[in-house]
Amino acid sequence: MKTTITHNAIQYKIDLSKPLDISIPITSKKVNVNAWYIDAPKIEPHREKDFTGSVPAGASTNFYDISFNPHAHGTHTECVGHISAAHQSVNQHLQQFFFLAEVITITPSEVQGDLVITKDQLEKALGSKTPTALVIRTLPNEASKRKRQYSHTNPPYILEDAMVFVRALGIAHLLVDLPSVDKEKDDGKLLAHKAFWNFNEEVRLNATITEFIYVPDSIADGSYFLNLQVAPFENDASPSRPVLYKIE
C-alpha cells in the first residue's frame, strides 16, 4: 500500500506494506537484551488460589502477568522525565508519530579508554542534512546486539559536545543501538541526556531518545520516514516500536 507524506511542503512516497522494524522485543528468556544490573523480564501466567491463567494448565484463557523495566529490557523511548524531578510522561509529550529520519553508521572512536561517538563523526555522517529524527547504527553491528548483556561492560556512548550539535541541528528524536547515550558509570552526570534535552535552560519537552534499537545491515544509510509508536504508559519511558519506511 503506497501513500504520500508531506513534510516541510515536500511530498514523499512510501510503501506502507514494506516496514523495516528496528525494535528489539521483550521476552521472558534469560538471553533477552539487558542492562542496568537487573534480572530478565518475567512473562508468566497469573496465579491466584486455584487459578492459573494458562490454557495448557486448564484455564479457558491465557492471562499472563508481565514484569519488566523499559530502560533495561528492550527498545524504549524516553522523554526528559527520565532525568527530571518533576513527573513527565513520554505518552503525553510524544504527540506526532511520523518523522523524516536519517540513518547513519558510525564506528565509535577510542578516547581515554572509552568508545565514544564524537561531534566530528556526526558532522561528517550528516553533511548538510537536518532531519527531524536521527537513527545511529554503531559498528561492529553483530546480531548479538539483540540479546547482549550490557551490565558492567562500559558500552559506547555519545560525548556531550556531540549531543549539543545534535540539539543545535533541531533533531527532536534520537535513536541509538546502545543501552544509553551516556557512559554506563558516570557518577550521575548524564551529560549527553542533559545536553539533548537542554535540561538547564529551555527544556525540550517534546524531544525523545530511543535506546536499544537494532538496525540490520540490510538497511542502508540514508533518508527514511520513521513511524515511532510507544505503548501508552504514563511514565518517563515506554516500550516502543520504531519502524522505518523507504522513500521511493
Overall domain count for the chain: 1
**Burial class (CB within 10 angstroms; exposed 0-12, middle 13-18, buried 19+) of 116:** middle
Which 3 state secondary structure label does DSSP give 187? coil
| Domain-embedded: residue 153 | yes
| Domain-embedded: residue 13 | yes
| Domain-embedded: residue 99 | yes
Report the candidate in 64, 79, 73 with the shortest Cα–Cα distance to residue 234: 79
| Domain-embedded: residue 55 | no
CATH code for the domain of 116: 3.50.30.50
| Domain-embedded: residue 58 | no
Report the candidate in 15, 33, 36 with the shortest Cα–Cα distance to residue 24: 33
| Domain-embedded: residue 48 | no
**pLDDT mean over 164-186:** 98
pTM of the predicted protein model = 0.96
pLDDT band at 17 (very low <50, low <70, confident <90, very high): very high
Where in the sequence is the domain holding 175, given as residue range(s)?
2-37+70-246
| Domain-embedded: residue 47 | no
Query: What was the pLDDT predicted at 28?
Result: 94
Which 3 state secondary structure label does DSSP give 138? strand
